[in-house]
Amino acid sequence: PFVEQLAVYEPGRPLEEVARAFGFADVSGLIKLASNENLLGPSPRALDAMRASAAKMHLYPDGGCHYLRQELAARLGVEPANLVFGAGSNEIIEFLGHVFLGPGTNIVMASQAFLVYRLVAAAFEAKVVDVPMRDHAHDLDAMLRAITPQTRLVFVANPNNPTGTMVDGAALHAFLDALPDHVLAVVDEAYIELVDPAAQPELISRVRAGRNIILLRPFSKAHGLAGLRIGYGIAPPGVVALLEKFRQPFNVCAMAQDAALAALADEEHLVRTRTLVRDGLAFFEEGFRRLGLDYVPSTANFILVKTGRGREVFQQLQRLGIIVRPVDAYGLPEYVRITTGTAAQNEACLRALEQVLAGAKP
């Protein structure tokens, strides 16, 4: 009975599924701006690495991700023992649940932060202490006040999904300094590489200093490898060692490791991605203002826009071949979340949105 009542995550639907459901001949007429993927695609270097990798797919991967670990450690200025790898950073959130959560414990999170934290807490029978957001951003003071002796993890998604808001470095450091010792701070930096490097809070020094913190980073977003499922955590060695207890020996696929290593070396692709996202956000903001729609200014590769009746708008857009994300599961029934795509995709999306909203008016 306990398992039966657990909620499941509603992901953005795969293109093929939407094509089948809406009678499109194939996926070519569809535009998916629903899952914050990198619409430039993977780096060409990562593609080459995947092709080379294909020929050795009869072999199990290196469960320790040796080469990727060495490279990342060097780039980040940490020790290899500071890194833990998962099949997506979501898997690391699950490791955190295994290690730290159970009946009688709780997590503290913002009420409109990434849903997976909530689902993992529920799976491990931990309570969720919800902290309302302020102007769609984490209210760090309120989160600090919400911590109890039973709190094991406090989650800060920075930038946050689905709101796209970010807390600034000084406020984050003050919050982390004030956390009691029995709480591990989980700073989910899924979109941090899309942020202008000068605006990225510097948190790795806290890992080096052995503070109670883990930073989570996927290769799914900025690096464009969502389909391969690979992400990592940066934490003090003691925390990494605990998480490793729950890691299956071959959790990260070999092709993902090779592609991630190649993607790291492609700075140019990352810069092009940042530019695409910045241009996309500017385009949507301008368009929303023209249509008289409220939106939440974003620092990531997606934007929340207030359309009214978000799920209906999502469904009508889908009929037009545009897939966005309803966010009613986040308590935002009046909004949809739109991922920034290429210029042509963004234009098609805005045109369709305008059409849907015009039709919806009495």
Ligand X SMILES: *Cc1c(COP(=O)(O)O)cnc(C)c1O
Applying CB under 6 A, which residues contact ligand X?
Answer: 36, 88-90, 114, 157, 161, 188, 190, 218, 220-221, 226, 231
By beta-carbon proximity to ligand X, the closer residue of 228 and 356 is: 228
Q: Closest approach of Cβ 316 to ligand X, in Å? A: 25
Q: How far, in Å, CA of 27 to CA of 16, rounded?
A: 6
By beta-carbon proximity to ligand X, the closer residue of 320 and 323 is: 323
By beta-carbon proximity to ligand X, the closer residue of 231 and 321 is: 231
By beta-carbon proximity to ligand X, the closer residue of 90 and 316 is: 90
By beta-carbon proximity to ligand X, the closer residue of 95 and 114 is: 114
In the block, tokens 């930073």 appear at: 215
Q: Closest approach of Cβ 114 to ligand X, in Å? A: 4
Please report, as a single letter, which amino acid is at residue 279: D
Q: Please choose, from the candidates 176, 118, 151, 335, the residue with its C-alpha nearest in 3D space to the C-alpha of residue 167.
A: 176
Are the C-beta atoms of 114 and 330 separated by less than 8 Å? no
Q: Closest approach of Cβ 233 to ligand X, in Å? A: 10
Q: Which helix (H) or strand (E) holds 130?
A: strand 127-131
Please report, as a single letter, which amino acid is at residue 286: E
Tokens of 102: 């159970």
Q: Closest approach of Cβ 218 to ligand X, in Å? A: 3
Q: Closest approach of Cβ 25 to ligand X, in Å? A: 30
CA 100 to mean position of chain CA atoms? 21
Q: How far, in Å, CA of 144 to CA of 124, rounded?
A: 23
By beta-carbon proximity to ligand X, the closer residue of 157 and 276 is: 157
Are the C-beta atoms of 65 and 80 separated by less than 8 Å? no
What SS3 class is residue 61? coil
Q: Closest approach of Cβ 68 to ligand X, in Å? A: 14
Are the C-beta atoms of 33 and 323 separated by less than 8 Å? yes
Residue 157, exposed/middle/buried by CB under 10 A (0-12, 13-18, 19+)? buried
Q: Closest approach of Cβ 234 to ligand X, in Å? A: 14
By beta-carbon proximity to ligand X, the closer residue of 31 and 226 is: 226
Q: How far, in Å, CA of 75 to CA of 217, rounded?
A: 14
Tokens of 280: 């996309």
